[in-house]
């Protein structure tokens, strides 16, 4: 969103020279750069880009919210923000006037303004305020459907004027609103120019409604079947012209998508389903009414009788309007008039009169429908429960989105009124601009210089002057007795205004062949000359509808339709005043509108249409020059620059430029901001080009601002670096202080947690010294995460201390057994189901009379002989075993394990030594995970020894753990590691061959034994 010099001047006031050429050069440069907004002081000039630009959305709204007008590049959001701040800060009623010709983007501008106001309000999310915002946003969607149409100049042209007041409470939140509509172009219902369409609502209903609804309305989907929509049947509305972002599926046709959006918007606003259904019935009735045709038939005698060609259409109209069929037919063919004696006379229509009555009824019904929709929206938006004494005075922001200046090939009464409206608004614009300038100069004590500008007061007077103006003469023609035609009215205008500089006709200028005799007159508007055709002026101004139709529709049983016709309750014999004409009503509404706008603080958006082709990226300079001229934009620039091109309050000026002067940077010490500004300008030598007001500085030429901006642009990068350095240092110091504080808090907190936890531990383990448990039954309290390593260390120390206490009470004779059990536990714990730790370990079972009652003496003799022969010191383990050899033979043997040798003995031969293995050669032991007593002893350089411990007392006693433990403890004492493997399938080596040994539980097996196979051995273990 930032702009550089390459994007041109963001404010036309800053142009070096105020000429049309310079103005257009800057406008075109900014348009080509995608900058469609430019200021003229506080007036915003907007060029329609005819494409979506990334200039809107929540992120952009945030950039403009709360900012001053010139702080950000020109934008609609800046104008909306300025109006909102003026309303909220100063409690001033404000208004935003959006003007420009048809197709210049006025309606889209009003949408963006509404979206901005909705986005920045109701930060507290009050439900009532959200409801009002939803109604405000969705009302535009509904009004566009029923009040907009496709024209040759704009695919979504507003065919009515709209002024919306938004009420705000003291908090600045919207609490209600009111919509005023002006001059709906209801003649469009009957006829459209080539290339144009009827109102969007008809095509949306036909193309977007479900088949079931169309059948109920007696309609078909093709618009070409109906006289009122046949002209635009082949045309489509531009994509998204009426559609808001309501989640409508993108694949739908434009009118179908818009129809769904309108239905959703009406639901959000608060239209009930019965009202919506009634609206579509009325639209369908208008289409059927347009297809009714009349024909004259001869009866007996010379008289001719008028009949309806297709009476089924009358049935449809009667059904859809909930009125009696015979009364509908009578109202179409006749009218009732009251004679002087108050007698009622029924007079039949001629063919021309019947067609006029039908068309007048269609126009009136659509106009009443549109007005009812506006009133219904207003009823929903009205502020609820407001008490001025309690809640304070409401403030208002008005948004005016009204039709632009129009010039068609044939211009009728509607274009005359529209262009008169634009003349009034242009007059107000010039007056307010000059008035504001003059008031500001007087308030600040600055001399005022009068500026010459085009004053269109003469044109406004030509139209609205009492008795002599065109509208007054048109009213007189409508009220005159006898037959007064449009041509007679034109002659009257020629007679009274033949010398007016802004009026001419073919009668007054016979050589101008662009006008026709007896039909055309021309007015030289501020925007250019427009030729008007007087045909239909009188009828359109009278806007006459027979009372029969009013009474018919008032007596409808449809409550929605009945509410649109309150004047139908009058009796036909009742004498009433002549109703005001359409022209007078419109003039009165314009006078009231101008007075309303003049009472508010105005903000202007001047919209420009870049080309007639509605093509993106194309700017036709001739076309834009014409708009710049008739919008008075050059005069606006001159007025703004006449005395002073720019004006700023002293604090704001200092805030922007104080870095360019040593006396004001970073803060001045002078007596006032005015004195500081004076010192700054003197340092730059610019004091002769300014004037000092009471609270503002007034700068004459844009050159002064350019010099200040260039000086500021050179210094800003230096200041930014300085600020960045200071701020980064501040952040680093702040971070360091916070870090130190964090570490201090963490240290003290940890100390506190440690002390608290230690106190808990001390209290918890006070009785831990008491035997015999020594704290085994105590549970450790849960430690904080930061103290978990400390807790683990404490637990390790405690376990060692407790172990030491227990060990101190163990007799020295039991220490060897304890060490063996500890060694076994380290090797087998969790790997083997049972390893015999719960019983006392005898170790030398062959010397035990209990375990070996018959041969313990023989074994003792053999043991003494071996001790004398080999000189070993202690017996580590002895037991009977069942062994299997490489020849697949199993025998009962005895196993003797000493501190130096491993012996295999033969019990049957007085424990004769069959094999001796040095203990240093034993490298490992393999056991299974079950309760069996299989042991495989692995020896280095020798066959592995496969045995099963048996013949134990008690029977099948578990001694594998004891063997493993004593052998492992002995190896640990010698400083070597014994490899112990636990596996249910043990590999072994015999005579260089690899074999496997496993265990098979067999319930019927009485004693353990081996079964041999080619692959290895299987221990058959009694599983009982």
Exactly one of 101, 196, 406, 962 is catalytic; which is it? Answer: 406
Query: How many CA atoms, within 13 angstroms, populate the side-chain half-sphere of residue 412?
Result: 16
Give exposure, 443-469, as e/b (b: 16+ Cβ within 10 Å).
ebebeeeeeebeebeebbebbbeeeeb
Question: Running DSSP on this structure, what letter comes out for residue 894?
Answer: E
Does the annotation mark 480 as catalytic?
A: no
Peptide bond into 666 cis (omega under 30): yes
| Catalytic residue flag (residue 209) | no
Annotated catalytic residue 154: yes
- Nearest to 426, CA basis, from 466, 389, 450, 455: 455
DSSP readout, 971-999?
HHHTT---EEEE-SEEEEEETTEEEEEEE
First to last CA, the chain: 90
Q: Which of 154, 156, 181, 878 is catalytic?
A: 154
The residue annotated as part of the active site, out of 46, 94, 157, 321, is 157
Other beta carbons within 10 angstroms of residue 591's beta carbon come to: 12
- The number of C-alpha atoms within 13 Å of 402 and in the hemisphere containing its C-beta is 31
CA–CA distance from 574 to each of 231, 343, 550, 563, 578 (Å)?
A: 41, 12, 14, 21, 12
Contact predicate 824/961, CB 8 Å: yes
Neighbours of 711 (CB within 10 A): 16
- 270 catalytic? Reply is no
Question: Do 134 and 125 form a contact (C-beta atoms < 8 A)?
Answer: no
Tell me which of 105, 147, 161, 404 is the catalytic residue: 404
- Nearest by Cα to 927 from 935, 917, 937, 918: 935
Q: How far apart are CA 587 and CA 605, in angstroms?
A: 24
Which residues, at least 6 apart from 977, have a Cβ–Cβ distance to it below 8 Å? Answer: 971
Sequence-separated (6 or more) residues with CB below 8 Å from residue 755:
none
Contact 289, 362 (CB under 8 A): yes
Is 983 noted as a catalytic residue in this protein? no
Is 52 one of the catalytic residues? no
176-185 burial by CB neighbour count: b if 16+ within 10 A, else e?
bbbbbbbbbb
Q: Is the dihedral of CA 784, 786, 790, 795 positive or negative?
A: positive
Measured distance CA(942)–CA(413) in Å, rounded: 126
**Does the annotation mark 583 as catalytic?**
no
Distance CA 439, CA 73 (A): 27
Whether 248 contacts 255, CB under 8 Å: no
CB distance 903 to 895 below 8 Å: yes
Among 46, 94, 107, 581, the active-site one is 107
CA dihedral 324, 326, 327, 332 (to 10 degrees): 130
DSSP for 116-185, please give it.
HHHHHS-TT--HHHHHHHHHHHHHHHHHHHHHEE--SS-TTEESSEEEEEEEE-TTS-EEEEEEEEE---
Q: In whole angstroms, how far apart are CA 296 and each of 332, 357, 361?
A: 14, 16, 21
Whether 514 is a known active-site residue: answer: no
User: Is 460 strand, coil or helix?
Assistant: helix
Rounded Cα gap, residues 574 and 344, in angstroms = 12
Count Cα neighbours of 378 within 13 Å in the Cβ-side half-sphere.
Answer: 14
Is residue 58 within 8 Å of 64, Cβ to Cβ?
no
- Contact yes or no for 344/337 (Cβ under 8 A): yes
The catalytic residue among 48, 102, 278, 704 is: 102
Catalytic residue (choose from 158, 664, 852, 898): 158
What is the side-by-side order of every strand in the sheet holding 174-182? 37-40, 43-47, 601-608, 94-99, 395-401, 161-168, 174-182
Active-site residue (options: 103, 232, 693, 1016): 103
Q: Active-site residues: which are they?
A: 102-103, 107, 154, 157-158, 404, 406
């Amino acid at each position: 969103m930032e702009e550089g010099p390459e994007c041109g001047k963001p404010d036309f006031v800053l142009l070096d020279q105020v000429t049309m050429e310079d103005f257009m050069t800057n406008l075109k440069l900014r348009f080509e750069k995608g900058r469609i907004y430019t200021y003229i002081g506080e007036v915003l000039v907007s060029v329609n880009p005819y494409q979506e630009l990334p200039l809107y959305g929540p992120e952009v709204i945030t950039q403009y919210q709360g900012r001053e007008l010139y702080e950000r590049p020109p934008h609609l959001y800046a104008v909306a923000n300025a109006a909102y701040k003026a309303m909220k800060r100063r409690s001033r009623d404000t208004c935003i006037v959006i003007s420009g010709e048809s197709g210049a983007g006025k309606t889209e501008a009003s949408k963006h303004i509404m979206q901005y106001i909705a986005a920045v309000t109701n930060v507290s999310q009050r439900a009532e305020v959200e409801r009002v915002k939803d109604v405000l946003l969705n009302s535009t969607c509904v009004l566009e459907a029923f009040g907009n149409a496709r024209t040759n100049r704009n695919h979504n042209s507003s065919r009515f004027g709209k002024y919306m007041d938004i009420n705000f409470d003291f908090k600045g939140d919207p609490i209600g609103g009111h919509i005023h509509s002006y001059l709906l172009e209801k003649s469009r219902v009957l006829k459209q120019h080539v290339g144009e369409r009827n109102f969007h609502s008809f095509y949306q209903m036909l193309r977007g409604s479900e088949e079931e609804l169309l059948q109920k309305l007696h309609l078909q989907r093709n618009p070409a079947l109906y006289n009122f929509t046949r002209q635009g049947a082949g045309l489509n509305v531009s994509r998204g012209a009426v559609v808001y972002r309501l989640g409508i599926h993108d694949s739908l046709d434009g009118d179908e998508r818009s129809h769904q959006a309108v239905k959703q918007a009406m639901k959000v606003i608060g239209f009930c389903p019965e009202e919506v259904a009634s609206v579509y019935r009325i639209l369908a009735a208008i289409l059927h009414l347009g297809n009714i045709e009349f024909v004259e038939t001869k009866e007996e005698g010379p008289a001719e009788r008028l009949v309806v060609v297709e009476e089924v259409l009358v049935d449809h109209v009667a059904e859809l309007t909930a009125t009696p069929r015979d009364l509908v037919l009578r109202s179409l063919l006749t009218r009732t008039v009251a004679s002087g004696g108050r007698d009622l006379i029924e007079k039949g229509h001629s063919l021309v009169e019947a067609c006029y009555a039908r068309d007048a009824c269609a126009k009136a019904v659509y106009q009443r429908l549109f007005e009812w929709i506006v009133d219904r929206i207003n009823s929903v938006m009205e502020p609820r429960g407001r008490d001025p004494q309690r809640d304070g005075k409401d403030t208002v922001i008005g948004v005016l989105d009204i039709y632009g200046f129009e010039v068609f090939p044939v211009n009728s009464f509607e274009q005359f009124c529209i262009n008169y409206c634009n003349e009034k608004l242009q007059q107000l614009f010039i007056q307010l601009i000059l008035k504001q300038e003059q008031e500001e100069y007087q308030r600040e004590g600055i001399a005022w210089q009068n500026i010459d500008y085009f004053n269109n007061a003469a044109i406004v007077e030509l139209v609205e002057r009492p008795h002599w103006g065109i509208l007054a003469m048109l009213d007189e023609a409508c009220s005159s007795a006898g037959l007064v035609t449009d041509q007679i009215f034109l002659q009257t205008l020629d007679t009274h205004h033949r010398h007016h500089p802004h009026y001419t006709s073919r009668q007054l200028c016979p050589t101008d062949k662009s006008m026709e005799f007896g039909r055309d007159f021309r007015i030289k508007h501020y925007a250019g000359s427009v030729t008007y055709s007087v045909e239909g002026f009188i009828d359109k101004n009278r806007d006459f509808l027979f009372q029969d139709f009013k009474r018919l529709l008032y007596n409808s049983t449809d409550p929605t339709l009945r509410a649109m016709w309150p004047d139908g309750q009058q009796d036909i014999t009742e004498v009433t005043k002549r109703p005001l004409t359409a022209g007078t009503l419109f003039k009165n509404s314009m006078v009231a509108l101008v007075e309303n706008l003049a009472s508010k603080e105005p903000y202007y958006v001047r919209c420009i249409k870049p080309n007639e082709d509605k093509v993106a990226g194309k700017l036709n300079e001739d076309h834009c020059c014409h708009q710049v001229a008739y919008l008075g934009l050059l005069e606006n620039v001159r007025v703004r620059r006449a005395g002073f091109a720019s004006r700023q309050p002293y604090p704001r000026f200092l805030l922007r430029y104080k870095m360019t002067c040593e006396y004001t940077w970073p803060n001045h010490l002078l007596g006032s901001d005015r004195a500081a500004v004076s010192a700054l300008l003197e340092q730059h030598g610019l004091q002769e080009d300014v004037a000092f007001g009471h609270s503002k500085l007034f700068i004459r030429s844009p050159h002064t601002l350019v010099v200040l901006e260039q000086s500021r642009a050179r210094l800003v990068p230096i200041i930014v670096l300085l600020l960045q350095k200071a701020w980064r240092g501040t952040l680093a110091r702040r971070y360091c202080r916070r870090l130190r504080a964090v570490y201090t808090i963490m240290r003290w907190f940890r100390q506190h947690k440690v002390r608290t936890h230690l106190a808990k531990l001390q209290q918890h383990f006070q009785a831990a010294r008491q035997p015999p448990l020594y704290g085994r039954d105590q549970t450790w309290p849960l430690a904080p995460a930061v103290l978990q390593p400390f807790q683990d260390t404490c637990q390790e120390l405690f376990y060692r201390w407790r172990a030491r206490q227990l060990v101190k009470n163990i007799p020295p004779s039991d220490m060897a057994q304890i060490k063996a059990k500890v060694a076994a536990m380290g090797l087998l714990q969790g790997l083997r189901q049972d390893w015999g730790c719960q019983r006392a370990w005898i170790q030398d079972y062959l010397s035990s009379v209990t375990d070996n009652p018959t041969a313990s003496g023989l074994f003792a003799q053999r043991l003494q002989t071996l001790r004398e022969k080999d000189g070993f010191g202690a017996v580590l383990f002895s037991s009977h075993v069942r062994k299997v050899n490489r020849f697949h033979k199993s025998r009962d043997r005895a196993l003797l394990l000493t501190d130096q040798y491993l012996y295999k003995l033969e019990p049957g031969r007085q424990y004769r030594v069959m094999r001796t293995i040095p203990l240093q050669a034993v490298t490992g032991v393999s056991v299974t995970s079950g309760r069996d007593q299989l042991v495989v002893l692995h020896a280095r350089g020798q066959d592995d020894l496969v045995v099963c411990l048996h013949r134990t007392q008690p029977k099948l006693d578990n001694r594998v753990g004891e063997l493993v433990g004593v052998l492992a403890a002995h190896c640990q004492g010698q400083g070597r590691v014994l490899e112990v493997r636990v596996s249910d399938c043990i590999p072994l080596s015999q005579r260089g061959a690899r074999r496997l040994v496993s265990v098979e539980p067999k319930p019927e097996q009485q004693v353990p034994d081996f079964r041999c196979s080619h692959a290895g051995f299987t221990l058959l273990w009694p599983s009982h």
